[in-house]
Amino acid sequence: MDITVRESIPSDLPIINKIFNYAVLNTNYNLRIEPRSQEEAQQWFEKHKAENYPILSAVYQGEVVGWASLSHFREYEGYNTTAEVSVYVSKSYRHRGIGTMLLTELERRAKRYRLLIAVITDNNTASISLHSRCGFIPVCTLREIGCKNGEYISVTLMSKKLKNNVI
Ligand SMILES: CC(C)(COP(=O)(O)OP(=O)(O)OC[C@H]1O[C@@H](n2cnc3c(N)ncnc32)[C@H](O)[C@@H]1OP(=O)(O)O)[C@@H](O)C(=O)NCCC(=O)NCCS
């Protein structure tokens, strides 16, 4: 498959949001309950661009089939050397290496950070495998920290220490 990973552009946003909302509405992998509106997605996109946090798109035959981003991890400045990763692949394109490509490219663009962190629900075996494969290590599991669709959800934090000296 000839997949290109590139920086996301504003016209990618509707499909990025569609892929995100599929996980919101159909899985317990993401603890958001209501779908994200296009307006909210626009604000998310603009904030990332303004703060220089990357959003990447995986493109196959001109169509966005997955995306990944780095985001600010918690509010205080003392966390500025850490970024949280997100990666989503369209359902019909999974298990073909696209998640790995996105995560690898995201890490290549993470020069400003010492630590990458992934917040993964315990039932998300695909995501846990993907992050393990890319060198993330499980740090801890927060038992029953969330609740969605009538189920208590445990969340595993996985992290990867980068070699960047950022201080
Ligand atoms: C998690 C996700 C991004 C993986 O993307 P992907 O493109 O399928 O990942 P890859 O094809 O690069 O696979 C990487 C590894 O993940 C694992 N994996 C992928 N799909 C899997 C599945 N359905 N079941 C078990 N393991 C799976 C495999 O170990 C694979 O390594 P391998 O090819 O050597 O076996 C994708 O399943 C997804 O979008 N899920 C819904 C959204 C989500 O949960 N995002 C993460 C939130 S933390």
Q: In which domain, by residue range, is 129 found?
A: 3-161
Question: Would you give the distance in Å from CA 44 to the centre of its chain?
Answer: 13
Q: Quick one: pLDDT at residue 38?
A: 97
The domain total for the chain is 1
pTM reported for the whole predicted model: 0.95
For residue 127, the ligand 1 atom closest to its alpha carbon is: 1
Q: Quick one: pLDDT at residue 167?
A: 86
Which residue matches tokens 């003392």? Answer: 78
Q: Quick one: pLDDT at residue 28?
A: 95
Calculate how far, in angstroms, residue 77's C-alpha sits from the geometric centre of ligand 1.
32
Calculate how far, in angstroms, residue 102's C-alpha sits from the geometric centre of ligand 1.
11
For the chain, 167 residues long, give each residue's pLDDT as a single digit of tens: 799 999 999 999 999 999 999 999 999 999 999 999 999 999 999 999 999 999 999 999 999 999 999 999 998 999 999 999 999 999 999 999 999 999 999 999 999 999 999 999 999 999 999 999 999 999 999 999 999 999 999 999 999 999 888 88
Any domain includes 166: no
Any domain includes 7: yes
User: What is the sign of the dihedral through the CA atoms of 46, 127, 6 and 21?
Assistant: negative
- Residue 66: Cβ-neighbour burial (10 angstroms; 0-12, 13-18, 19+): buried
Q: Quick one: pLDDT at residue 165?
A: 87
Any domain includes 46: yes
Q: Quick one: pLDDT at residue 98?
A: 98
Ligand 1 pocket, residue 143 CB under 6 Å: no
- The edge-to-edge listing of strands for the beta sheet with 82-89 is 3-7, 55-60, 63-72, 82-89, 115-121, 151-161, 137-148
Q: Quick one: pLDDT at residue 166?
A: 86
Calculate how far, in angstroms, residue 6's C-alpha sits from the geometric centre of ligand 1.
20
- CATH classification at residue 136: 3.40.630.30
